Amino acid sequence: MMSIKKLFAGVAVAALAGTAALAQDGPVRIGVVTPISGTYAGIGQQVSWGLDMAAEEINAAGGINGRQIELLYEDSEANPAVAVQKAEKLMTASDVDFLTGTVNSGATLAVGQVAERAGKLIATTVSFSDAITGSGCSPNVFRVNARAGQQSAALAVWLKRERPGAKVFYLGPDYEMGRSTVAAFRKNAEEVGAESTDEVFAPLDAKDYSQYFGGIRAARPDVLYTSVAGNDTVRLFTQLKDFGLLEGLTVLGASGTVTSQNIGAIGAAAEGFITGVGYSTQIDTPENKAFVEAFNARNGAEPDLYGADSYGLLFAYKKAVEAAGSTDTDAVRTALEGLSWETPQGIKTIRSGDHQAMQPVYVVEIKDGAFTIADRIAGEDAIGEDVCDRF
């Protein structure tokens, strides 16, 4: 009798161990929910270039603990509702180990909640909204790119030095990211003595910004801060130029406002634009030069912040999984907290209190159609306080 019981127990244990081994044997599956269509399609393109390139390099070097990385793409259409559906599909039907790629901040917040319920981890490499690692933080959500607050802190340092006491007008896209970036910059700018005139929020995908120009003219600002992105920037900037509003006006913006994706279409209207950004192709290190060269060779285009941050993410995940010894959610979360790893833009460290990556932030200006670095703010000075109180 005893021996039969033992035998059964033994079989059960072996069977359990067998399935566990199976799950840890195949490829590491990473779901990518990113906009392949819509106004942010150009951003999604950089995200996929960065991730694909990193996955190829990691796989060629033997993968993660001997397992190859498999990326599974879904189109989020930059729409939170669609992103949630696609994320659920990836987590249940495809049983991915990890999720990334969300661009729209609303989508990141929504997918983060879904991931938390499903017991999976996600990381955004793009979204700016402070809420993601602040008031809306989640134990299952990480961010490896610079958030609105980090970018604004860097811009405020520049504003104080170059345009003391400036009158500032704010124009953002009317959703989570726009309101968060404007609020963050407004707070930082007012702390260094700038005077706020007015703020306007335009719908995402707005055709015509000229309807706001009356308000801008009436306010007579020295500085315009904007956080529109993608194609919206092309329209805003060229229309500002057409209406002669750029004369005597300094335009500051979020790091996603002007990128290598849209600078060509904006043309001369982008000249003099200044932003705080976590990445620039101009960063003068051997690692970055090698990265830019390889990225160009593979994709036929320069990397921008999204491409670089997405590329860097997979190396953080690889390091965390190797430290944890598995892709188990709790083990990888513990390994990611406080993790420091090498990226093209230098060493990044994930703050364990709110899952926000600390990194140096650069003040970048567009001169003669190219991004040039005007200043560098150390990671500790730009990160801001940890306001996450959920874990």
Partner 1 sequence: MIEFIQFVLAPQMLNGLALGISVILVALGLTIIFGLLDVINMSHGEFYAIGAFGALALSAFGLNYWVLIALVPVLMIPLGVITERYLVRRVYDGADRHVSTLLLTYGLALILEDVLKIMFGPNTHRPENPLPGATEFVGVFIPTYRLFLIAIGIAVILVVAFVVYRTRLGAMVRAASFDRNMAASLGVRVSWVYSGAFAFGVALAGLAGVLLAPVYSVFPTMGRDFILMAFTVVIVGGMGSIWGAVMAGVVLTQVQAISSLIVSPVWSEPIVFGVMVAVLMLRPQGLFGRIGHA
Report the interface residues with partner 1, using CB under 8 A.
36-39, 41-42, 44-45, 174, 200-203, 205-208, 210-215, 217-218, 230-231, 234-235, 238-239, 242-244, 261-262, 264-267
CA distance 255 to 6: 63
CB closer to partner 1, 266 vs 388: 266
CB closer to partner 1, 146 vs 245: 245
In this structure, what token pair is assigned to residue 269? 């209207």
CB closer to partner 1, 8 vs 243: 243
CA distance 282 to 205: 30
CB closer to partner 1, 270 vs 316: 270
CB of 66 to partner 1, least distance (A): 36
CB of 25 to partner 1, least distance (A): 37
CB of 173 to partner 1, least distance (A): 10
Angle in degrees, 0-180, between the axes of helices 148-162 and 176-191, rounded to the nearest 10: 40
Assign residue 230 a region: left if phi > 0, alpha if psi is -120 to 50, beta otherwise?
left
Q: DSSP string of 35-74?
A: -SSSTTHHHHHHHHHHHHHHHHHHHHTT-BTTBPEEEEEE
CB closer to partner 1, 233 vs 327: 233
CB closer to partner 1, 39 vs 288: 39
CB closer to partner 1, 122 vs 236: 236
Q: How many CA atoms lie within 13 A of 39 on its CB side?
A: 18
CB of 274 to partner 1, least distance (A): 21
CB of 202 to partner 1, least distance (A): 6
Are 194 and 165 spatial neighbours (Cβ–Cβ below 8 Å)? yes
CB of 208 to partner 1, least distance (A): 5
Task: State CA 22 to chain mean position distance.
Answer: 33
CB of 218 to partner 1, least distance (A): 6
CA distance 343 to 347: 6
Task: State CA 41 to chain mean position distance.
Answer: 15
CB closer to partner 1, 68 vs 238: 238
Are 338 and 358 spatial neighbours (Cβ–Cβ below 8 Å)? no
Q: Give, as one character, the DSSP assignment of residue 94.
A: S
User: Among residues 256, 284, 258, which one has the least CA distance to residue 272?
Assistant: 258
CB of 177 to partner 1, least distance (A): 15
